[in-house]
Amino acid sequence: MTDFNQTRAAFDLPEGVIYLDGNSLGPLPRGAAERVGRMMTQEWGSLLIRGWNEAGWYVQPRRVGDRIAPLIGAEPGSVVMGDTLSIKVFQALSAAVAMRPGRRVILSDSGNFPSDLYVAQELVAALDRGLELRIVAPEEVETAIDDTLAATLLTEVDYRTGRLHDMAALTARAHAAGALAIWDLAHSAGALPVHLAEAGADFAVGCTYKYLNGGPGAPAFIYVAPRHAETARPALAGWMGHAAPFAFDPRWIPASGIERMRVGTPPVLGLTALEAALDIWEGVSLDAVRRESIRLSEAFIAAVATRLPGLPLASPRAPEHRGSQVSFRHPEAYAIVQALIARGVIGDFRAPDIMRFGFTPLYLTLAEVEKAAGLLADVVLTEAWNQPEFRVRAQVT
Amino acid sequence: MTDFNQTRAAFDLPEGVIYLDGNSLGPLPRGAAERVGRMMTQEWGSLLIRGWNEAGWYVQPRRVGDRIAPLIGAEPGSVVMGDTLSIKVFQALSAAVAMRPGRRVILSDSGNFPSDLYVAQELVAALDRGLELRIVAPEEVETAIDDTLAATLLTEVDYRTGRLHDMAALTARAHAAGALAIWDLAHSAGALPVHLAEAGADFAVGCTYKYLNGGPGAPAFIYVAPRHAETARPALAGWMGHAAPFAFDPRWIPASGIERMRVGTPPVLGLTALEAALDIWEGVSLDAVRRESIRLSEAFIAAVATRLPGLPLASPRAPEHRGSQVSFRHPEAYAIVQALIARGVIGDFRAPDIMRFGFTPLYLTLAEVEKAAGLLADVVLTEAWNQPEFRVRAQVT
């Protein structure tokens, strides 16, 4: 039985803040700083180089991957940590196109996070062999899948609107067309139940600083379906993905299984903070998280609709078609988000006109959500955003 | 005036250990754990997502790069942090070969760290357009440079032998042949004076967990010569290297200058530990470090030679041809290194028969070095290594 009072108590949340931006950066798990401090003084400080063996740093990317796997419906041993999400996209995509040498199209959609598109574009340009990145509207993905495709590269939950793709259906359709399916779980992992194995996904990637609360710049994960694990070959390979890293063989021989997706030395500090964050998930049911997320987001939509009936919802209205966020559009979205932050409600602006609010049941209560909706209405109705300090657009938002 | 008593006091060193492996993983800087803890509680914990602006996380890769630059003789604004060394090798090499479209050879040497070779091999295989990775012996590099080369990919200091390449001469020769020069500074940065700008290097990469003491898995750096900074285009590109990351443009438009080499979200915990480590370098002269490193390593060689005259030195005898390490060969190198570790002297084994000892004047004294040489001789002469517990080869060393 998931106890959200208990999970909430596992975070250090600042006073007076209603945090609706855990879909961008999750909050600090209580004890994470102490855990990292212990790793630094007792492991790095005392063991020095011996920490790679004696403190288990070397196996940490797999150990942590094995804890992520059940959260995303992946087979044991099919997930490994490292680098950043964009780098893992690059590995998955380069491996996928190499596995479909006769195919020339990578299909993505305009709701994908731009970095995924950048990775694909620059890979296509570098490979210079007639590959094409085809970008369609999210609702056109299904019909755009045909037998010219090498792979689909899709983010399950749209970072702006929260629109949720049907992973199982699109994966099946990709497979029927002879293509591979790569899923970006940036806004899925820890937000809702994900069933990679059940859906038959070929590759998946994700970050851990959002719903998994690993901290700023926390390492990414990559999943390779076990049926591909001995053949997938990323264009970007390093010594930690070698079959025998410490043989210092001059040729790269890929490690067996998911380990081949490792590249260089793993970020031990970041992985250690993430381990503390993953402790919170012990005993938590993602079905319960999903139910509570829907309860919170429905309450938010209802409360906003009552006071701001004209405010356009940018997210799908039906909760089964949304991830764990709700977005509204307003021409003054940026200034409104700033004014809300000044009132203690932290949401996100996404260009050009999106106000984005994330719902994270592990630490967010219904009372907070209702209060946030009220404050949003106050700001919009009183034009509290229409003041100089909220209208100066910061360079980084 | 560099005061090595002061720099030594800036580290938390375990009692009873003589650490000759700072060329693999530097020790814990005093205060680094506290600094990371403060970042976690006061920045992540309190500011949450606002930390990207208000705590300067977003600009941290450049801010830290600007502190690395003077240590490697790089122009201000020419260095940025992120990812791992292998990933930065991939970016530099892919950018370099794209800048020399008519050329087909990448030249490296058999003393290069295998991961650099793996990156090159897998890039060549993925690009599949007739590129060739040519690997020659280190001493043959100079004569192997010809006008078929797109780029040289060399590590300045050989990870096994400590052999030091002449960066200025080889770079000049590469340029005379119309090729670009990429330098891996893994065993150079913080070990000896490096003059990237003066040597005319085109690209350089390095890690920060060795002589720069950034901790296990600390982030890497990449240097692009300012003359290439507006044209270099890596095959691996992400949103933080976009000209306007928060415009969420669907096309990748490279940022001006070195920023384009950023990929994804930076590892803030790792960068923060590194910042603490870089404080120690304030006021330290790399010329003084080099002088002291030579004094220590010469003393070590002399002391070992006195007691073990037959032990083959694997490093160049002349200090001007060595980095900051000394290696010996012995068929039982692995077991000897284990037996030495049991006596508190931490060195490194590198397959097949290398015992490798790093000299790090920031925290290593002459007395320690002489004691270590004596203990090495004791172990070898008494065959103390010839005991079961030292002869079991661990999987990871």
Report if residue A182 sits inside a domain: yes
pLDDT tens sequence across A232-250: 999 999 999 999 999 999 9
Q: Are residues A295 and A258 in the same domain?
A: no
- Whether residue A14 and residue B269 make contact (CB cut-off 8 A), yes or no, is no
Query: Cβ contacts of residue B287 below 8 Å, gap of 6+?
Result: B193
Report if residue B4 sits inside a domain: no
Parent domain of B177: 31-281
Distance from CA of A338 to the nearest CA of B (A): 11
Q: Is the pLDDT of residue A52 over 60?
A: yes
A184 is in an annotated binding site: yes
Single-letter amino acid, residue A219: P
Q: How confident is the model at residue A393 (pLDDT cuts 50, 70, 90)?
A: low
Q: Are residues B60 and B205 in the same domain?
A: yes
Whole-number pLDDT of residue A221: 98
Using CB atoms, pick whichever of B46, B85, B245 lies closest to residue A264. B85
Mutate to test the interface with A, among B269, B346, B364, B392 (most CBs of A within 10 A): B269
State yes or no: is B210 an active-site residue: yes
Rounded mean pLDDT of B239-253? 95
SS3 A97: helix
Point out the domain boundary residue: B258, B281, B304: B281
* Sequence ranges of the binding site of B for pyridoxal 5'-phosphate: 85-86, 113-116, 155, 184, 187, 209, 239, 265
Q: Which residue of A has its CA nearest to B160?
A: A248
Residue A344: how many CB atoms within 10 A of its CB? 15
Residue B287: how many CB atoms within 10 A of its CB? 11
CATH number of the domain within which A339 lies: 3.90.1150.10
Q: How far is CA B334 from the centre of its chain?
A: 23
Q: Is the pLDDT of residue B396 over 70?
A: no
Q: Are residues A228 and A373 in the same domain?
A: no
Rounded mean pLDDT of A244-267? 96
Mutate to test the interface with A, among B48, B123, B253 (most CBs of A within 10 A): B48
Residue with tokens 């987001």: A297
Q: Are residues B255 and B298 in the same domain?
A: no
Give the span between the Cα atoms of A127 and B125, in whole angstroms: 10
Whole-number pLDDT of residue B233: 96
Using CB atoms, pick whichever of B83, B94, B270 lies closest to residue A270. B270
Whole-number pLDDT of residue A391: 77
CATH number of the domain within which B151 lies: 3.40.640.10
- Whether residue A115 and residue B239 make contact (CB cut-off 8 A), yes or no, is yes
Q: How confident is the model at residue A390 (pLDDT cuts 50, 70, 90)?
A: confident
Tell me the chain A residues in contact with residue B351 when contact means C-beta distances shorter than 8 Å: 246-248
Nearest to residue B159, comparing CAs of B88, B97, B85, B221? B85
Using CB atoms, pick whichever of A17, A48, A351 lies closest to residue B21. A48
Residues forming beta bridges with residue A358, ordered by sequence position: A325
* Sequence ranges of the binding site of B: 85-86, 113-116, 155, 184, 187, 209, 239, 265
pTM: 0.97
Whole-number pLDDT of residue A173: 98
Q: Is the pLDDT of residue A270 over 90?
A: yes
Q: What is the average pLDDT score of chain A?
A: 96
Tell me the chain B residues in contact with residue A86 when contact means C-beta distances shorter than 8 Å: 236, 238-239, 263-264
CB B212 within 8 A of CB B190: yes
Q: Are residues B61 and B181 in the same domain?
A: yes
Report if residue A42 sits inside a domain: yes
Angle (CA) B237-A155-A1 rounded to 5° is: 125
Q: What is the average pLDDT score of chain B?
A: 96
Share of chain B above pLDDT 90, in %: 96
Q: Are residues B170 and B277 in the same domain?
A: yes
Point out the domain boundary residue: A250, A265, A281: A281
A265 is in an annotated binding site: yes
Q: How confident is the model at residue A395 (pLDDT cuts 50, 70, 90)?
A: very low
Distance from CA of B47 to the nearest CA of A (A): 8
Give the span between the Cα atoms of B26 and B67, in whole angstroms: 18
Distance from CA of A184 to the nearest CA of B (A): 14
Q: Is the pLDDT of residue A215 over 50?
A: yes
Report if residue B18 sits inside a domain: no
Residue with tokens 């998994």: A212
Which active-site residues of A does the annotation give? 113, 184, 209-210, 356
Whole-number pLDDT of residue A396: 43
Q: Are residues A237 and A334 in the same domain?
A: no
Q: How confident is the model at residue B391 (pLDDT cuts 50, 70, 90)?
A: confident
Q: Are residues A291 and A253 in the same domain?
A: no
Whole-number pLDDT of residue A388: 86
Rounded mean pLDDT of B85-106? 97
Q: Are residues B178 and B308 in the same domain?
A: no
Q: Provide the domain count of chain B.
A: 2
Give the span between the Cα atoms of A205 and A210, in whole angstroms: 13
pLDDT tens sequence across B193-242: 999 999 999 999 999 999 999 999 999 999 999 999 999 999 999 999 99
Whole-number pLDDT of residue B393: 60
Q: Are residues A76 and A225 in the same domain?
A: yes
A175 is in an annotated binding site: no
Q: How confident is the model at residue B267 (pLDDT cuts 50, 70, 90)?
A: very high
Report if residue A38 sits inside a domain: yes
Rounded mean pLDDT of B149-174? 98
Report if residue A23 sits inside a domain: no
Nearest to residue B268, comparing CAs of A395, A206, A36? A36
Q: Are residues A306 and A253 in the same domain?
A: no
Q: How confident is the model at residue A21 (pLDDT cuts 50, 70, 90)?
A: very high
Report if residue A25 sits inside a domain: no
CB B277 within 8 A of CB B35: no
A209 is in an annotated binding site: yes
Q: Are residues B261 and B298 in the same domain?
A: no
Point out the domain boundary residue: A247, A281, A315: A281
Distance from CA of A193 to the nearest CA of B (A): 25
pLDDT tens sequence across B34-74: 999 999 999 999 999 999 999 999 999 999 999 999 999 99
Report if residue A11 sits inside a domain: no
Mutate to test the interface with B, among A34, A41, A48, A53 (most CBs of B within 10 A): A48
What b/e string do you get for A123-147 counting C-beta neighbours within 10 Å, with b at 16 or more?
A: bbebbeeebebebbebeebeebbee
SS (H, E, C) chain B: CCCHHHHHHCEECCCCCEECCCCCCCCEECCHHHHHHHHHHHHHHHHHHHHHHHCCCCCHHHHHHHHHHHHHCCCCCCEEECCCHHHHHHHHHHHHHHHCCCCCEEEEECCCCHHHHHHHHHHHHHHCCCCEEEEECHHHHHHHCCCCEEEEEEECECCCCCEECCHHHHHHHHHHCCCEEEEECCCCCCCCCCCHHHHCCCEEEECCCCCCCCCCCCCCEEEECHHHCCCCCCCCCCHHHECCHHHCCCCCCECCHHHHHCCCCCCHHHHHHHHHHHHCCCCCCHHHHHHHHHHHHHHHHHHHHHHCCCCCECCCCCHHHECCEEEEECCCHHHHHHHHHHCCEECEEECCCEEEEECCCCCCCHHHHHHHHHHHHHHHHCCCCCCHHHHCCCCCC
pLDDT tens sequence across B7-43: 999 999 999 999 999 999 999 999 999 999 999 999 9
Distance from CA of B190 to the nearest CA of A (A): 18
Whole-number pLDDT of residue A371: 98
